[in-house]
Amino acid sequence: MRFAIFPANDPARTSRLKRQLMALGSYLMYLLPLTYAVHYGWVRFGYPGLALFVATSIAINLVFFIAIRTGFSLRYKDPSLLLPQIAVSIALALLIIHNANEVRSILLLPFYTGFFFGIFGLSTRQYLGLTIAASIGYAGMMVLEFVGRSLDTDQFHLELLRFLTLVMILLWLSFLGGYVAWLRSSLARRKNALATALNKLEQLASRDELTGVFNRRHLIELMEHEKERAERFGDTFSVCLLDIDHFKRFNDTHGHQVGDEVLQGFSQRMRAQARGIDWLGRQEADNTFGRYGGEEFLLVQPRTPIAGALHCVERIRRAVNAAPFETRVGPLQVTFSAGIAEYQRDESVVATLNRADAALYKAKNGGRNRSELAP
Q: Which of 19, 256, 215, 259 is nearest to 117 (CA)?
A: 19
d(CA 165, CA 83): 22
Helix (H, G, I), strand (E, B) or coil at 285: helix
Tell me the chain's radius of gyration from C-alpha atoms: 36
Q: Which helix (H) or strand (E) holds 174?
A: helix 154-206
Instruction: Establish whether 231 is a catalytic residue.
Output: no
- Report the DSSP beta bridge partners of residue 299: 240, 289
Question: Cα 128 from chain centroid?
Answer: 31
Are the C-beta atoms of residues 332 and 262 closer than 8 Å to each other? yes
Query: Counting Cβ atoms within 10 Å, is residue 375 exposed (0-12), middle (13-18) or buried (19+)?
Result: exposed
Query: What is the C-alpha to C-alpha distance for residues 87 and 77, in angstroms, rounded to an integer?
Result: 17
Residue 26: Cβ within 10 Å count: 18
Query: Are 17 and 69 contacting, i.e. CB atoms less than 8 angstroms apart?
Result: yes
Q: Report the 10 Å Cβ neighbour count for 180.
A: 15
Which of 226, 261, 295, 372 is catalytic? The answer is 295
Q: How many distinct helices (H) and strands (E) make up the chain?
A: 12, 7
Q: What are phi and psi of 101, to 5 degrees?
A: -115, -95
What is the SS3 assignment for 303? Answer: coil
Contacts of 299 (CB under 8 A, 6+ apart): 239, 240, 242, 270, 274, 288, 289, 309, 312, 313
Residue 32 CB neighbours (<10 A) = 9
Q: What's the rounded Cα separation, in Å, for the pair 65 and 81?
A: 10
Residues tagged active-site: 295
